[in-house]
Structure formats: C-alpha cells, structure tokens
C-alpha cells in the first residue's frame, strides 16, 4: 500500500528509532494465579497476556497422541485491541497464527515426556500495534517456563522488514501497514534453530539475508529480556 507518510528520513524512522532498534519491551511473569504459568508482555504498543495450563489429559480423547503431548496454542485478539473493533472469535488469521505458534513451541518442549497430554497456551492480545505473533510467542516462552514445562530452550521471536528500500528491525504499526515487507521469525536461541519463519511483501535475496540476520540478532536481545524477567520473578519468590 502506498502512503504519503515518510517512513524513513535522515537515518531515522517515524518513531525516531534507528534501523536496527527494537521498540521498548517489558515482561512480567507469574501474573495470573489460576494459570499454571503466565506472562504479561508489552512490546511497543502491543499488550499481550498468556496463560499456560497442563500438561493435562488431552480432551477430546481422539486428539491424544500415545507417544507425545500436543501443544494447543490459541491466539486471540480482543475486540477492543485494534482501532476498528475486531469481530470476536476465531478467524483465518488467528487460526493460522495459533497453528504456527503451536508448532514453534512444540519444537522446544520435551513433548515425549507427556504422552496423551495437552499443553494449552492461551495468548490474548489486549492491544495490537503490529508484531503480535512475535509478542505472543515470546510471552508464551516465558509462561511455559513459569508453568515448569521442561524445554530444550526458551523460544523467542522477533521480526525484521523493509520500509522504503531500507531493511529495519521490528516494524511498528505504520511501517507494517505501509512498508514493503515483514519477516517474523522465532528461534531457539541456544541452538540457533529457526522455529518459525513467515514473510509477506517482497525483498531481494540480499535484503532477505540482511533482514534474517537482523531478526536473529533481535531475537537474542529479546531472549535476554525474557531471562531477566524469569530470574527477577524467582529471586523475588525466594526472598519472600
Ligand atoms: O500482528 P502481526 O504483525 O503478527 O500480524 P499481522 O497479520 O501482520 O497484523 C499486523 C497488525 O495489523 C496487527 O498487529 C494489528 O495491529 C493490525 N490488525 C488489525 O488492525 N486488525 C485485524 N483484524 C488484524 C490485524
């Protein structure tokens, strides 16, 4: 989509960020007492809450896998999370995001330890401002740790993209609306494995490689913020 807005001028973006700068991120864990694990995350203007339940017996029974647990991530955007009220309930977009997040998380969890079980990850987007799948997946990683689910690593996500011929990290709302490409990824930071990679728009091969490197670096930065939130929570609990 074309716009009259200048997304990139004098080396700076609309919100004053440098090309490789993330929006502000704040993570808090253990925020819901009825859930087994939870996380509240703010990423720029995104506000996301995640509640994890399980491992528990998968219901209905025909969904059970006798060899491993299944991961049911359910991504939902609240009706009031966007400027135009969003019609409540699942739609194609939320089903797609739920599926890719379930698969990404499933790669990190030791699923074979919990045959016939399901691990339910409820991701509620309270406010959306582009990049909600990355925000939701990152919060889910922290909530899974809080729930004590054994994992190989804490999955983390971040996007890079292209605006006005410039590759940039972590697109904001106008950049997402009027930019030319968005590349959200999720990784396992310890092994460097890519757990999710999606792209819309168009980039050259070189721009794609630059964007991928930038998104991977972004993931590592976000991973440090995840770990800090977890450490802070458990240090506080120990001190209580
Ligand atoms: O949120 P994410 O970037 O992962 O997914 P997207 O499908 O690229 O959506 C980009 C943004 O569009 C969202 O974060 C919302 O801010 C906005 N959006 C909206 O305003 N109304 C919708 N029904 C869906 C998305």
CATH of the domain at 37: 3.30.230.70
Residue 5 lies in a domain: no
Per-residue pLDDT reduced to its tens digit, 19-53: 999 999 999 999 999 999 999 999 999 999 999 99
Q: How many residues does the chain have?
A: 240
**Reported confidence tier of residue 90, pLDDT bands at 50, 70, 90:** very high
Residue 70 lies in a domain: yes
Q: Give me the percent of the chain exceeding a pLDDT of 70.
A: 97
- Position 5 scores a pLDDT of 83
Per-residue pLDDT reduced to its tens digit, 182-213: 999 999 999 999 999 999 999 999 999 999 99
Q: Give the residue, by CA position, lying nearest to ligand 1 atom 6.
A: 130
Phi-psi category of residue 89: left, alpha or beta, with phi > 0 → left and psi -120 to 50 → alpha: left
- Structure-token pair, residue 120: 């339910």
- Position 1 scores a pLDDT of 52
User: Nearest-CA neighbor of 143 among 125, 159, 119?
Assistant: 119
Residue 2 lies in a domain: no
Residue 172 lies in a domain: yes
Residue 34 lies in a domain: yes
Query: Across the chain, what does the average pLDDT equal?
Result: 96
Is the pLDDT at 54 greater than 70? The verdict is yes
**Which structural domain, as residue segments, surrounds residue 152?**
14-239
Is the pLDDT at 153 greater than 60? The verdict is yes
Residue 6 lies in a domain: no
Task: Establish whether residue 93 lines the binding site of ligand 1, counting it when its CB lies within 6 angstroms of any ligand atom.
Answer: yes
Q: Give the residue, by CA position, lying nearest to ligand 1 atom 16.
A: 129
**Number of domains forming the structure of the chain:** 1
Is the pLDDT at 3 greater than 90? The verdict is no
Is the pLDDT at 88 greater than 70? The verdict is yes
Report d(CA 152, CA 218) in Å as an integer.
Answer: 20
Task: Establish whether residue 162 lines the binding site of ligand 1, counting it when its CB lies within 6 angstroms of any ligand atom.
Answer: no
Task: Establish whether residue 176 lines the binding site of ligand 1, counting it when its CB lies within 6 angstroms of any ligand atom.
Answer: yes
Is the pLDDT at 236 greater than 80? The verdict is no
Residue 2 neighbours by CB distance under 10 Å:
5
For 134-168, the DSSP string reads HHHHHHHHHHHHHTT--BSS--EEEEEEEETTEEE
Residue 9 lies in a domain: no
Query: Residue 200 C-alpha to ligand 1 middle, in angstroms?
Result: 12
Residue 51 lies in a domain: yes
User: pTM (2 decimals)?
Assistant: 0.97
- The answer to whether the beta carbons of residues 198 and 158 sit under 8 Å apart is no
Cβ neighbourhood burial of 56 (10 Å; 0-12, 13-18, 19+)? middle
């Amino acid at each position: 989509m074309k716009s009259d807005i200048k997304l990139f001028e004098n080396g700076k973006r609309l919100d004053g960020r440098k090309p490789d700068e993330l929006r502000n991120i704040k993570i808090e864990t253990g925020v819901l007492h009825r859930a087994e694990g939870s996380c509240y995350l703010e990423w720029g203007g995104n506000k996301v809450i995640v509640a994890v339940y399980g491992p528990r017996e998968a219901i209905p029974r025909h969904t059970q896998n006798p060899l491993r647990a299944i991961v049911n991530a359910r991504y939902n955007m609240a009706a009031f999370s966007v400027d135009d009220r969003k019609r409540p309930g699942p739609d194609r977009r939320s089903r797609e995001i739920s599926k890719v997040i379930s698969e990404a998380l499933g790669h990190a969890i030791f699923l074979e330890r919990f045959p016939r079980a399901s691990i339910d990850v409820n991701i509620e987007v309270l406010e959306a401002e582009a990049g909600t799948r990355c925000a939701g997946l990152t919060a889910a990683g922290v909530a899974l740790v809080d729930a004590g689910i054994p994992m190989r690593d804490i999955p983390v996500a971040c996007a890079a993209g292209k605006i006005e011929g410039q590759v940039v990290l972590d697109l904001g709302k106008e950049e997402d609306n009027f930019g030319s490409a968005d590349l959200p990824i999720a990784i396992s930071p310890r092994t460097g494995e890519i757990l999710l990679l999606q792209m819309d728009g168009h980039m050259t091969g070189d721009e794609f490689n630059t964007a991928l490197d930038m998104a991977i670096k972004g993931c590592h930065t976000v991973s440090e913020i995840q770990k800090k939130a977890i450490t802070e929570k458990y240090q506080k609990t120990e001190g209580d």
